[in-house]
Amino acid sequence: MTMTTTFWTRFVLCCIVTVFAGLVLSPGAQAKPNILFIAIDDLNDWVGPLKGHPQVQTPYMDRLAARGTVFTNAHCQAPICNPSRTSLMTGLRPSTTGVYALFPWFRDVGQLKDLVTLPQYLAQHGYRTYTTGKIYHAMSGRNYKEFDVIGPPASVGPLPPRKLVDTPQPHPLVDWGVFPHRDEEKGDWKVATWAADQLKKGMPEPFFLSAGFFLPHVPLYATQKWFDLYPEETLQLPPMRRDDREDTPHFSWFLHWRLPEPRLKFLEEANQWKNIVRSYLASVSFVDSQVGRVLDALEAGGHADNTIVVLWSDHGWHLGEKLITGKNTLWDRSARVPLIFAGPGVSQGAVSGRPAELLDMYPTLLEAAGLPAKGGLDGHSLMPQLKDAGAPREWPAITTQNHDNHGIRSERWRFIQYADGSEELYDMKTDPNEWKNLAGDASYDQVLREHRRWIPKVNAKPAPGSAIRFLTYKDGKVNWEGEDIGPNDPIPEI
């Protein structure tokens, strides 16, 4: 073989190798991206990227948002843990499954037991799946194959000898305040530690790692250093109006009729309003620090460049707005949640005001991973908005609480229709606090019609076992946990 021939042979081989390598490493041919799935319980829009509270400090969520896309108009499918998490993990609405309440675990419902959830679908397509903390509300301790590897469960951590606050209903979890313990003893610290250890030690790719943090779910216990971020003398309380409930239907009270979370009236009389707000903010900052530990481990483990991170909360939480505390409502404070994506294929530093739903995560992650779309899901992929935050979106966000109560959130409006037919309408552009109900104003009839058409056409009967904290309405009567309530019954001051 001559020198010239050798040269051209090597040249051709080099070109072939280069082309082949380009095909392998091109975006369309890359290995499937990993997925880091971070859940935070009861977290409303009091985070830096959503600006829900002017004083909140969440530097790690801020950092995640800066390298990804934030949805400022994202909403849960149900303002309570079990139906919200069931919905987003199955990709089906509560009105589709009939899971509206704290129970049942959906695998215990005959027609739902074989549903293929997000982690199961990913596992079918080559992903190794891991979980720690609270992702589902409960897996009932049964041997369902939800994940390949399971780490520490969610837990409150150390508790004081007795409750710090004597609330009207002595529920053991409804408590808050400074409690001197070590941060390392908290359940969320252990969840972050386990997740970080997996990321650092070298996980087989592609992986799906879900980490679910408990706080700021009650009890809102935090150590003094987190309270020091929010001095009482400069603390800003959330905006509220004393007459806020005068133009809301009586039926709106039924959604949280006798729940253990106290009313604003108690907080003021017991001088606890500032304390609970500080406790919530302190808990948010603590859990943000745990999110930071996981994100730091993602980088330290060398996975950051090929991992899609999605951070979300299952629903929001009232802290005096609408004269209540807690969740279980169809207003923005209870339905609006953080939703942040970052990683390959996601625009950086972008903010989308398009309506988004938690159950959109299922189809979004499948598309982002280059997997076949799964039929029968109720949500829609957010990839158009992850590429271009201003991309149009046809669908509003729909939140359902109990049977036949729905909230429809478009870009400008929040519409609510209760089981008895009563309604609310708010212009979120001019009235972000939802203080003026426009539903009775004839000049908004067209807006009402446009939003009514999104009410789910399927409203499945409550799944068997839906007895705890559950409300039904039939033949003009409200039934709360087996007790009939009349339309003029007084509202319990809890």
- Whether omega before 216 lies within 30 degrees of 0, making that bond cis, reads yes
Out of 137, 303, 315, 403, pick the active-site residue.
137
Structure tokens at 317: 């939480």
296, two tokens: 């730091």
Q: Would residue 15 show up in a list of annotated catalytic residues for this protein? A: no
Residue of 341, 65, 295 lying closest to 192 (CA atoms): 295
Burial (CB count <10 Å: 0-12, 13-18, 19+), residue 325: buried
From 75, 81, 315, 451, the catalytic residue: 81
Instruction: Determine whether 403 is an active site residue.
Output: no
User: Which residues are marked as active site?
Assistant: 81, 137
